[in-house]
C-alpha cells in the first residue's frame, strides 16, 4: 500500500514539474473607452516578435479573452472590433506572471495616413464558434422590435411563439453578454427596439462551470447575444407605450421602458389585453407540469402544420395563450383558444463596486384562457380494422404565475470568484374542462362519454446554484466546485363527474362522481467538482466528480361519492397511491483537452453508478431497488479550415431516470374511456447524441452558410404500452375495460432513434436591395410502442423548405416575403392501411411603408395550405391583417393607428399530432376579425 502511495506522489509531482516548465496563460478584457462596457466578439491576435507567428482568439460575451501556454518573449497584441479603432499593445512575457489587462477601444473608423477608412456593413461573419450578424445590414422600420430584426437573419425563425436559430430552439437571449429577464427569449426580443441593436451573436452557451474550466460538460443552450450600439444609446431612457380599443370590447395596453445608465440597467415591461398577445414565453406552467407530469413517453410531433392564427406581427392576435397539451391528471391544459393576459416584469442589471456584478428579474402574469376543440384520432389497432375516436372539448383555465431570477458574481481577487444563481417560481392554476367523446370500430359505435373536470392546483419551484472558482498561480491549473439544490411542491384538488355509455350487448351505463387531492414534493441536491491541469503547450488534463440525489414524495387520494352518507367518503384504491422515489447518481471522470489555432478536441470518460429506489406504501406495500453501472463517454472536435469556416463535432451520452409520475402506479381516469397509470418497474433510459455542424461566411460576397446533422439513439426508451379492449375485459388489479376502452402505461423499449438535418444559406440580392435566405430540413424518427402486446413502429420522415426575401432598402420601406413548406410521411408497422402523407405550407408577406408627412401603412398576409389530413380538417385560409396610421409630434415619436385583424374572417387552427399508438387532427377555436384604434408613443432620450 505504501509503495502505491509513493508511486502516485511521484507521478503527480512529475506531471506538476513537467507542466510547470510550460508557458504562461495571458488574460485580458476588451472594453469600450467611452462607456467602459465589455465588447463581446472582439478579434484579438497575439503576434510573436520578430517572426510574426500569430495566435488568434475572440472575446467572450463578457469581453474577456485568454491565450494559453505563451512562451517567454516579446509580443504585440492586436485588437479589432467593427466600428472601433484598432488597438496595438506591446507586452513582454518573462518568468513572472504577465497580465494584458483591460484594452479600451475608441469608437470611429480606422485611420490610414490622412485617409479615413470606413467599413461596409457585412451581413455576417464567423468568429470561432460564434456567428455574428451586423444589424446595419438588415434594414427595419423605426418601430421594429428586436424580434422583427432577427427574423430577417439567415436561419432565424419564429414558430408557434418559439424563436429558433440554426434549427434549434433559442433558450436564452443576453444583452451585452448579461442576462435579461432570466431565460425568457421572448421577453427580450419583443420588448427591445431594433434601433438599439448593433450586432446579433449566435452561439452555444456552455454552463458557467464549463466556461471557466474550458471543459465541455455537454450542458449547452442555444443563445443569442444582443450587442447594443455604442455611445449615448447605452446611457439614456427609451421605450414604447401603447393603448388601443376596438369592437367586441377588444383592447390592449402596455409598454416597455428601459433606463440605461452605464453599468446600471433597469427595464420595466407591462401589458394587458384580450387579443392573445403576450410579451413572454409560454413557460408559465413549467413548475406545475414538472411536478405532475402524467405517465407517458409518447412522442408528439412529426412536423405537422403550424397552428393557424400565428404571427400577427404588429397586429398581435393568433398566438396561443399558453402551454398546449395535457400535463397531468390534475392540470387543465391551455390549448390555443382565446386568452386574456395581464403581465408586468422588471429586470435589473448593475455592477456593485469593482468586484460584484448582479442581475435579476421578476415577472408576473395572469392568463385567462378559453378553448373549443374538435379532435379526430385514428389508432394503429386492430390490424384488420380501424378504431377511431371523436372528441369535442370546452376548456377554460385561469393561470397565475410569479417568476424570480437572480445572479450575483463576486470576484474575491484575481484568482477566486463566487457565482450564486437562485430561481423561484410560483404558479396557481384553476381549470374546467368538459369533454364529449365517441369511440367507433369501423362504423360501429362502441362507447361514448361526457365528463366535467375541475381542478385547482398550486405549484412552487425553487432552485439555486453556488459555484466557487479558483485559478492557481500556475497558468491553466484550476478547480471549480458547484453546489446545487432544487425543491418543487405541487398541491391541489380536482373533481370529476362523467357519464359513460357502452353499446356492446348488453348496453350498459355507468357514472363517476369523484374528488381527488394531490400532495407532491421533490428535493434534489447535487455537487460537481472539476480540476484542470495543463499538460504540454496546448493540452490539459481534467478530472471530475459529480453526485446528485433526487427524492420525490407523492400522495394522491381519490374518494367516490356515497349516496348513503351524501359525502365523498368512499376511498378508491385504484385511484389512490402513496409513493416515494429516490435516485442517487455518482460519477468519476477523466479527460484530455487539446487546443491550437487550427483545431481543438476534448475527450472524456466517466464511470457512473446510479441507484433507483421506489417505495409504495398504499394501496399495498411494494419496494423496488435497482443499481445501474454505466461508462459515459463524451467528445468534441473543432477544426478551423479558415478564419471564416469551421467544423464542429459533438458526442454525448446521458442516463435519464423516469419521473415520479411515470413510476407511480396510480390510475388516471380524467377520460374514463382512456385510462393510464405509471409503472414502478421502469428503469432509466440511456441516450447517445451525435451532432456535426459546419459554418462558413464569405465576407467578400456577404454570404453565410450553416449545416447541422444530428442523431439520437435511446436504449431502454420509455414508450407506451397500450391495451385496447376488443371485448369487455378486466386487467391488472381489477381495472374494468368495456369494449373500445383503453389502458396505457409507460414501459421500456429498444429501437428509438431520431435523425435531424438543417441547412441555411444567406446571400444579398443587390439588384433589389434585399437579402435572400434558404432553409432546408430533413428529419426522421423511429418510435416503438406496444399495442395489445404487439410491437408497433411509428416512422415519421419529414422534409422542410423555407424561403425568405427581406428588404434592405431603407427604414421607410420594409418588406419580408417568406414561405415554409413541410412534407410529412407516417408509417405504422401494425396497420399499413393507416400509412399516410400530408403537406402543409405557410406563405407570408409583411409590408411596412412610411410615406407622405408621416403616414404609415402596414399589411400582413398569411396563407395556410393543408392537404392529406382527416376529412374536414384540410382547410386552407388566408389571414390578412392591415393598419393605417399617422406619425405625430415634432420628432414623430407618437402614432395614431387604425388596424383590422383577420380582415377576411378566415382564421382557423389545425394541427396534427403523431404518437406510436395513434395520430390525430385537432382544430381549435381562434381569434377572428376585429377592428382597433390605437395610440403608440416611442420614448427616446439618449
The 10s digit of each residue's pLDDT in 385-418 is 678 999 999 999 999 999 999 999 999 998 899 9
Of the pLDDT bands very low, low, confident and very high (cuts 50, 70, 90), residue 215 is: low
Question: Which CATH superfamily does the domain covering 16-117 fall into?
Answer: Immunoglobulins (2.60.40.10)
Average confidence (pLDDT) over 66-70? 81
- Does 823 score more than 60 pLDDT? yes
Check: CB of residue 669 under 8 Å from CB of residue 496.
yes
Q: Residue 765 has what DSSP assignment?
A: E
Residues 6+ apart with CB under 8 A from 184: 172, 280, 281, 283, 363
The Cα-based distances of 259 to 172, 364, 748, 938 in angstroms read 21, 20, 53, 14
* 3 state SS for 176-189: CCEECCCCCHHHHH
For 86, phi then psi, to 5°, come to -60, 150
* Predicted pLDDT of residue 213: 66
Q: Between 454 and 157, name the one with better pLDDT.
A: 454
The CATH code of domain 270-941 reads 2.40.170
* Nine cell digits for residue 227: 450587442
Residues 6+ apart with CB under 8 A from 932: 244, 245, 246, 247, 250, 251, 252, 275, 898, 899, 900, 901
- 527, burial (CB in 10 Å: exposed 0-12, middle 13-18, buried 19+): middle
The 10s digit of each residue's pLDDT in 71-130 is 777 788 888 886 677 788 888 787 667 778 888 888 754 333 333 333 345 677 777 678
- From first CA to last CA, the distance across the chain in angstroms is 71
Q: What mean pLDDT, rounded, does the chain reach?
A: 83
* Nine cell digits for residue 919: 395520430
* Nine cell digits for residue 622: 411494494
The bridge status of strand 416-441 relative to strand 387-411 is: antiparallel
For 702, phi then psi, to 5°, come to 60, 40
Task: Give percent above pLDDT 70 in the chain.
Answer: 86
| Closest C-alpha to 287, from 34, 457, 447 | 457
* Predicted pLDDT of residue 562: 93
The Cα-based distances of 915 to 73, 796, 827, 937 in angstroms read 64, 10, 11, 48
For 857, phi then psi, to 5°, come to -115, 130
CA distance 668 to 675: 6
* Predicted pLDDT of residue 777: 94
Q: Residue 38 has what DSSP assignment?
A: B
* Predicted pLDDT of residue 381: 72
Check: CB of residue 64 under 8 Å from CB of residue 137.
no
- Does 289 score more than 60 pLDDT? no
CA distance 786 to 792: 6
Domain span(s) for CATH 2.40.170 in the chain:
270-941
Check: CB of residue 492 under 8 Å from CB of residue 518.
yes
| Closest C-alpha to 393, from 458, 303, 325 | 325
The highest-confidence range among 152-166, 202-216, 521-535, 719-733, by mean pLDDT, is 521-535
* Nine cell digits for residue 896: 395614431
For 477, phi then psi, to 5°, come to -95, 115
CA distance 149 to 130: 18
Domain span(s) for CATH 2.60.40.10 in the chain:
16-117
Average confidence (pLDDT) over 746-757? 95
* Predicted pLDDT of residue 747: 95
* Predicted pLDDT of residue 13: 38
Range scoring the smallest mean pLDDT among 199-203, 789-793, 851-855, 894-898: 199-203
* Predicted pLDDT of residue 565: 94
Average confidence (pLDDT) over 418-426? 95
* Nine cell digits for residue 659: 419521473
Q: What is the pTM of this model?
A: 0.77
Q: Residue 307 has what DSSP assignment?
A: P
* Predicted pLDDT of residue 217: 61
The 10s digit of each residue's pLDDT in 838-894 is 999 999 999 999 999 899 999 999 999 988 888 878 778 899 999 999 999 988 899
Q: Residue 659 has what DSSP assignment?
A: P
Amino acid at each position: 500500500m505504501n509503495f502505491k502511495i509513493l508511486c502516485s506522489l511521484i507521478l503527480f509531482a512529475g506531471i506538476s514539474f513537467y507542466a510547470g516548465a510550460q508557458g504562461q496563460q495571458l488574460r485580458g478584457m476588451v472594453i469600450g473607452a467611452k462607456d467602459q462596457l465589455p465588447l463581446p466578439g472582439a478579434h484579438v491576435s497575439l503576434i510573436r516578435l520578430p517572426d510574426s507567428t500569430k495566435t488568434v482568439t475572440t472575446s467572450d460575451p463578457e469581453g474577456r479573452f485568454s491565450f494559453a501556454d505563451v512562451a517567454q518573449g516579446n509580443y504585440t497584441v492586436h485588437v479589432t472590433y467593427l466600428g472601433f479603432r484598432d488597438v496595438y499593445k506591446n507586452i513582454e512575457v518573462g518568468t513572472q506572471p504577465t497580465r494584458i489587462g483591460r484594452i479600451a477601444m475608441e469608437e470611429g473608423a480606422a485611420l490610414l495616413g490622412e485617409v479615413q477608412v470606413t467599413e461596409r456593413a457585412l451581413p455576417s461573419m464567423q468568429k470561432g464558434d460564434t456567428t455574428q450578424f451586423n444589424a446595419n445590414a438588415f434594414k427595419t422600420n423605426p418601430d421594429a422590435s428586436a424580434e422583427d430584426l432577427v427574423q430577417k437573419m439567415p436561419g432565424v425563425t419564429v414558430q408557434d411563439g418559439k424563436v429558433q436559430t440554426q434549427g434549434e430552439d433559442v433558450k436564452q437571449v443576453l444583452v451585452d453578454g448579461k442576462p435579461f429577464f432570466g431565460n425568457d427569449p421572448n421577453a427580450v426580443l419583443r420588448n427591445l427596439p431594433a434601433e438599439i441593436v448593433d450586432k446579433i451573436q449566435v452561439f452555444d452557451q456552455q454552463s458557467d462551470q464549463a466556461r471557466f474550466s474550458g471543459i465541455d460538460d455537454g450542458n449547452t443552450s442555444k443563445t443569442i447575444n444582443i450587442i447594443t450600439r455604442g455611445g449615448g444609446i447605452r446611457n439614456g431612457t427609451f421605450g414604447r407605450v401603447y393603448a388601443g380599443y376596438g369592437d367586441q370590447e377588444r383592447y390592449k395596453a402596455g409598454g416597455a421602458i428601459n433606463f440605461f445608465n452605464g453599468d446600471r440597467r433597469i427595464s420595466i415591461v407591462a401589458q394587458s389585453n384580450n387579443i392573445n398577445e403576450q410579451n413572454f414565453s409560454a413557460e408559465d406552467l413549467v413548475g406545475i407540469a414538472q411536478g405532475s407530469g402524467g405517465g407517458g413517453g409518447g412522442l408528439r410531433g412529426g412536423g405537422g402544420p403550424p397552428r393557424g392564427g400565428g404571427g400577427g406581427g404588429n397586429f398581435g392576435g393568433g398566438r396561443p395563450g399558453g402551454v398546449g397539451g395535457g400535463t397531468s391528471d390534475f392540470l387543465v391544459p391551455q390549448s390555443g383558444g382565446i386568452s386574456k393576459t395581464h403581465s408586468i416584469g422588471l429586470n435589473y442589471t448593475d455592477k456593485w463596486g469593482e468586484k460584484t456584478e448582479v442581475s435579476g428579474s421578476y415577472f408576473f402574469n395572469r392568463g385567462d384562457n378559453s378553448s373549443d376543440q374538435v379532435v379526430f384520432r385514428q389508432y394503429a389497432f386492430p390490424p384488420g380494422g380501424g378504431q377511431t375516436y371523436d372528441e369535442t372539448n370546452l376548456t377554460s383555465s385561469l393561470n397565475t404565475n410569479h417568476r424570480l431570477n437572480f445572479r450575483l458574481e463576486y470576484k474575491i481577487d484575481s484568482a477566486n470568484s463566487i457565482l450564486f444563481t437562485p430561481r423561484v417560481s410560483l404558479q396557481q392554476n384553476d381549470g374546467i374542462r368538459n369533454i364529449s367523446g365517441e369511440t367507433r370500430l369501423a362504423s360501429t359505435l362502441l362507447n361514448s362519454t361526457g365528463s366535467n373536470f375541475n381542478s385547482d392546483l398550486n405549484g412552487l419551484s425553487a432552485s439555486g446554484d453556488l459555484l466557487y472558482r479558483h485559478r492557481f498561480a500556475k497558468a491553466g491549473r484550476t478547480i471549480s466546485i458547484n453546489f446545487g439544490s432544487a425543491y418543487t411542491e405541487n398541491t391541489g384538488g380536482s373533481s370529476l363527474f362523467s357519464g359513460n355509455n357502452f353499446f356492446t350487448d348488453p348496453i350498459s351505463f355507468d357514472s363517476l362522481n369523484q374528488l381527488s387531492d394531490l400532495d407532491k414534493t421533490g428535493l434534489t441536491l447535487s455537487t460537481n467538482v472539476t480540476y484542470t491541469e495543463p499538460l504540454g503547450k496546448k493540452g490539459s488534463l481534467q478530472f471530475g466528480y459529480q453526485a446528485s440525489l433526487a427524492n420525490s414524495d407523492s400522495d394522491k387520494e381519490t374518494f367516490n361519492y356515497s349516496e348513503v352518507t351524501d359525502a365523498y367518503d368512499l376511498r378508491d384504491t385504484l385511484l389512490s397511491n402513496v409513493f416515494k422515489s429516490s435516485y442517487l447518481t455518482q460519477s468519476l471522470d477523466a479527460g484530455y483537452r487539446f487546443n491550437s489555432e487550427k483545431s481543438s478536441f476534448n475527450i472524456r470518460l466517466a464511470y457512473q453508478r446510479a441507484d433507483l429506489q421506489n417505495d409504495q406504501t398504499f394501496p399495498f406495500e411494494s419496494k423496488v431497488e435497482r443499481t445501474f453501472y454505466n461508462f459515459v463517454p463524451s467528445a468534441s472536435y473543432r477544426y478551423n479550415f479558415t478564419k471564416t469556416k469551421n467544423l464542429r463535432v459533438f458526442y454525448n451520452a446521458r442516463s435519464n431516470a423516469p419521473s415520479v409520475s411515470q413510476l407511480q402506479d396510480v390510475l388516471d381516469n380524467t377520460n374514463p374511456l382512456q385510462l393510464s397509470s405509471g409503472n414502478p418497474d421502469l428503469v432509466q433510459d440511456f441516450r447517445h447524441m451525435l451532432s456535426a455542424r459546419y459554418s462558413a461566411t464569405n465576407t467578400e460576397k456577404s454570404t453565410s452558410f450553416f449545416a447541422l446533422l444530428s442523431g439520437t439513439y435511446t436504449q431502454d426508451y420509455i414508450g407506451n404500452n397500450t391495451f385496447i379492449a376488443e371485448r369487455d375485459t378486466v386487467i391488472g388489479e381489477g381495472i374494468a375495460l368495456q369494449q373500445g376502452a383503453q389502458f396505457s402505461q409507460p414501459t421500456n423499449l429498444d429501437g428509438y432513434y431520431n435523425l435531424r438535418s438543417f441547412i441555411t444559406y444567406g446571400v444579398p440580392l443587390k439588384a433589389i436591395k434585399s437579402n435572400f435566405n434558404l432553409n432546408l430540413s430533413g428529419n426522421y424518427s423511429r418510435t416503438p410502442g406496444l399495442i395489445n402486446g404487439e410491437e408497433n413502429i411509428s416512422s415519421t420522415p419529414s422534409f422542410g423548405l423555407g424561403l425568405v426575401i427581406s428588404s434592405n432598402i431603407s427604414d421607410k420601406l420594409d418588406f419580408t416575403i417568406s414561405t415554409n413548406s413541410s412534407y410529412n410521411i407516417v408509417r405504422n408497422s401494425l396497420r399499413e392501411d393507416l400509412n399516410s402523407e400530408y403537406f402543409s405550407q405557410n406563405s407570408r408577406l409583411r409590408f411596412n411603408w412610411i410615406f407622405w408627412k408621416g403616414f404609415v401603412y402596414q399589411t400582413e398576409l398569411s396563407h395556410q395550405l393543408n392537404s392529406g389530413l382527416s376529412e374536414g380538417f384540410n382547410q386552407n385560409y388566408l389571414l390578412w391583417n392591415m393598419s393605417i396610421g399617422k406619425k405625430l409630434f415634432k420628432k414623430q415619436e407618437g402614432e395614431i393607428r387604425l388596424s383590422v385583424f383577420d380582415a377576411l374572417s378566415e382564421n382557423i387552427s389545425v394541427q396534427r399530432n403523431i404518437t406510436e399508438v395513434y395520430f390525430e387532427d385537432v382544430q381549435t377555436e381562434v381569434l377572428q376579425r376585429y377592428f382597433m384604434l390605437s395610440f403608440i408613443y416611442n420614448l427616446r432620450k439618449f
